[in-house]
Structure 1
Amino acid sequence: MKKTKNRWLIALSAVGIHISIGSVYAWSVFTNPLIEQYGWELSYVSLTFSIAILFLGLSAAFMGHFVEKYGPRTSGIVAAGFFGIGMMASGGAAVLESLWLLYITYGILAGIGLGIGYITPVSTLVKWFPDRRGLATGLAIMGFGFSAMIASPIMANLIDTVGIPATFFILGLIYFIVMMASALYLERPPEGYMNEFSEEKKKTPDLSQLTANEAVKTRRFWLLWVMLFINITCGIAILSVASPIAQEIAGLSTGAAAAMVGIMGFFNGAGRIAWASISDYMGRPNVYSTFFLIQIIAFFTLPAITHALLFQLVLFLIISCYGGGFASVPAYIGDLFGTKQLGAIHGYILTAWAAAGLVGPLLVSWIREATESYVLTLSIFGISLAAAFIVSLWIRLDIRQLKQENEDSQRNTA
């Protein structure tokens, strides 16, 4: 008999992939050096990051079926190729001083690797951890959140010592090796793995077993999409302007605000593992409603908080909910639609990320310029989160109805 792999090493492999691709959140480290060395404008350099996030969402949506068909090992190797080669090729773009080539190499190629790499381990982990879905997906996605903390100082040091092109070459090669080694260990669990948690024996069986194309035709898919979209829009918006907001409202110095942004990276990662683990005990619907309640209060009270430490603590809480939304959604998908095509459904849901990545920063900048204050911005996001809270209650009606239908069906069968 073939020996069953250690599921915690499978989880570690997932972290290896996510901690590599999560370095995209450290893109801002490249911003000033690229502007200073090549004379490119800030908006043009920042567009590289936006393109990468856009292609993350698009490739996750369109390549979800590829992940399900060919399995985590093949799709992980493909992700390593796109991301690693995209990063190394970005070094070539820097050598040639071509911004358009950087858009193609980092924005499109690495962006495609981001999307495939993001969804590849998640559906596999859900199947390896049927008893602790939230913890498993939280572990992997935690790596994505923590990555910027690890990558930022390394990137800054490399840029100072070996220059921009060599930094891209070195990091691209390292990420390629780490992702490739991680992908080669990944595989689906064997047939009949942990039968004690099979659908018939689980206390709370999955509500359905749908394909991705069936899932998108249900109302609960779109309710979940809206919840994730609002949570990400508000979180990304706060991330993009955290420093100026803290300086304007709480009076933080430039240095203190910069330090706060670094600490936010920790809470982004910690929130992913903490909230996802809590969701195993509270249930995914309760966790999402809790996210939104916390953030409604936080966004409406932030403008009145002038105490620097308290202001920062509230911001950290918001960012933990932002990270927790990402980490809890794969397990929520498994609860609602089953694991038949979880990777593909997760890919479709992540189009909310691509949309929010464009809407959030643009919206907060537009409102700030129009009102010359961040107060109205925070209030608008508070109202948006109140709408998300209502949606989180609405989806419960669908869940309750589906549970009743399943119970009626079982009684009729019996």
Structure 2
Amino acid sequence: MKKEKNRWLIALSAVAIHLSIGSAYAYSVYTNPINELAGWSATQITMAFTIAIVFLGLSAAVFGRFVENNGPGKSAILAAVLFSSGQIGAGVAVLIESLPLFWIMYGAVGGMGLGIGYIAPVSTLVKWFPDRRGLATGMAVFGFGAGALITSPVAAELISITGVSNTFFILGTFYFLLMILGASYIARPPQGWMPAGMKKASSPVKDRVKEDLAQLTANEAVKTKRFWLLWVMMFINISAGIMIISVASPMAQDMAGLSVAAAASMVGIMGIFNGAGRIGWAGISDYIGRPAVFSVFFIIQIIAFLILPFITHPVLFPLVIIVVMTCYGGGFASLPAFIGDMFGTKQLGAIHGYILTAWSMAGVMGPIAVSSLKEISGSYTPTFYLFTALLIIAFIVSLITARDVKKIRENNKQNSAA
């Protein structure tokens, strides 16, 4: 008999994979050096990141079934090959000053590695931690947020020492090795596996864990109303967060009078709380439920977006922004557990991939909305009001979702009792 794997080492393997692909959030560190070296505009350089986010969502949807059919290990290896190839290819593109190649390698190829690498470990952790779904996926997705914190100073230092292309080569190789290390251990639990605390007929852990609403395939899930309710909530939550992230520094300087250095510090702190929110809110969701935690996200953000246009204090403004960032990160971390609750773990990876198409659309919509409204009005205020309206819609959707979940749970109880 094979020795049973340690689920906490499985979680560590997932973190290793997410730390690597999470380095994409440190992309802005390359903008000025590439501009100085190749002469490409900031818009042209940023386009590669936009393409990467679009391909993240699309590949997560397309390769969700691949993850389910081939397991997390093979999927993580494929992600490692694609993501590291995108990094190394981006280095070659900068070296020969080919912008189309840069978009293809960093954006399309690297973006596919991002999407597969994102869903493969997370869907596996949900199965290893039926008693702590939120916390487990929160740890992995925290790795995604923390990847930028680690990569940003390292990449900046490497660029100053070895140049942009060599930095892509070095980090691309390192990411490959780290992701392969994670892929070598990560695996699904045996069929019917459950932790010791849930094996007893009645225990505090087992009593707290609720049965999944259903065990659906991806095709069955997308035909349900609750799938699209969840998709809308994620789209609005991600759009609001990415809108803030895309203009955080100039917004803080313009609205609260922060210096360039102070605004840069705020951006770094945002990354920390983005990651902290992933663990904190996901852990809380294990106790208050996923519908309730999403409702809390939207209440917090509605209040924040209504008051931000009137805040000019250089300390209070960043504090409110940081609170919004915890909700942004918490949404990503709570999502896989939410999917498991509503659709089961039968094809969780594929369903997760479909819902992450919301990330692709939000990655385009958020930045475009804020830049367009700022250009038209000369102010960030209209953007906050637009997103307040969207967040109110999201809050209403969260209440509808909670009602539907409760109704389905009651019907399941009646059917099992009959």
TM-score range, shorter chain: over 0.9
Aligned to 1:262: 268
Distance (Å, rounded) in 1 between the aligned partners of 2:80 and 2:135: 25
Select the residue among 308, 319, 323 that pairs with 1:313: 319
Aligned to 2:16: 16
CA RMSD of aligned residues (A): 1.3
CA offsets per residue over residues 213-261 of structure 1, 9 Å max, x none? Answer: 1000000000000000000001000111111221122111111111111
Aligned to 1:36: 36
CA offsets per residue over residues 14-68 of structure 1, 9 Å max, x none? Answer: 0000000001111111111111111111111110000111100000000000000
Distance (Å, rounded) in 1 between the aligned partners of 2:324 and 2:232: 18
Aligned to 1:238: 244
Distance (Å, rounded) in 2 between the aligned partners of 1:237 and 1:313: 17
Quote how far apart the aligned CAs of 1:197 are: 3.9
Quote how far apart the aligned CAs of 1:2 are: 1.1
Kindly provide the amino acid, as one letter, of the partner of residue 254 in structure 2: E
Select the residue among 346, 370, 379 that pairs with 1:373: 379
Aligned to 2:137: 137
Kindly provide the amino acid, as one letter, of the partner of residue 284 in structure 2: I
Contact preservation (8 Å) 2:238, 2:359:
yes
Aligned to 2:229: 223
Kindly provide the amino acid, as one letter, of the partner of residue 353 in structure 2: G
Aligned to 1:84: 84
Contact preservation (8 Å) 2:273, 2:322:
yes
Kindly provide the amino acid, as one letter, of the partner of residue 343 in structure 1: G
Quote how far apart the aligned CAs of 1:117 are: 0.1
Select the residue among 336, 347, 350 that pairs with 2:353: 347
Find the residue that maps to 1:141 and give its secondary structure.
helix
Kindly provide the amino acid, as one letter, of the partner of residue 135 in structure 1: L
Distance (Å, rounded) in 1 between the aligned partners of 2:177 and 2:250: 38
Aligned to 1:364: 370
Find the residue that maps to 2:191 and give its secondary structure.
coil
Distance (Å, rounded) in 2 between the aligned partners of 1:383 and 1:277: 28
1:389 aligns with 2:395: yes
Contact preservation (8 Å) 2:292, 2:402:
no
Kindly provide the amino acid, as one letter, of the partner of residue 257 in structure 1: A
Distance (Å, rounded) in 2 between the aligned partners of 1:146 and 1:124: 20
The 5-angstrom pairing of residues 277-292 of structure 1 reads 277-292=283-298
Moved more, 248-257 or 175-184: 248-257
Moved more, 283-292 or 303-312: 303-312
CA offsets per residue over residues 170-200 of structure 1, 9 Å max, x none? Answer: 00000000000100101111223226648x9
Kindly provide the amino acid, as one letter, of the partner of residue 263 in structure 1: I
TM-score normalised by structure 2 residue count: 0.97
Distance (Å, rounded) in 2 between the aligned partners of 1:238 and 1:125: 29
1:403 aligns with 2:379: no
Distance (Å, rounded) in 1 between the aligned partners of 2:349 and 2:9: 20
Kindly provide the amino acid, as one letter, of the partner of residue 186 in structure 1: I
Distance (Å, rounded) in 2 between the aligned partners of 1:395 and 1:52: 31
Give the length in aligned residue pairs: 412
Aligned to 2:342: 336
Distance (Å, rounded) in 2 between the aligned partners of 1:174 and 1:307: 42
Aligned to 1:325: 331
Distance (Å, rounded) in 1 between the aligned partners of 2:226 and 2:217: 14
Distance (Å, rounded) in 2 between the aligned partners of 1:320 and 1:187: 30
Find the residue that maps to 1:308 and give its secondary structure.
coil
Contact preservation (8 Å) 2:122, 2:336:
yes
- Which ranges in structure 1 are unaligned for 5 or more consecutive residues? none
Aligned to 1:274: 280
Find the residue that maps to 2:192 and give its secondary structure.
coil
Kindly provide the amino acid, as one letter, of the partner of residue 296 in structure 1: I
TM-score normalised by structure 1 residue count: 0.97
Find the residue that maps to 1:301 and give its secondary structure.
helix
Distance (Å, rounded) in 1 between the aligned partners of 2:296 and 2:285: 11
Find the residue that maps to 1:339 and give its secondary structure.
coil
Quote how far apart the aligned CAs of 1:397 are: 2.1
Moved more, 83-92 or 50-59: 83-92
Kindly provide the amino acid, as one letter, of the partner of residue 189 in structure 1: P
Distance (Å, rounded) in 1 between the aligned partners of 2:198 and 2:127: 10
Aligned to 1:120: 120
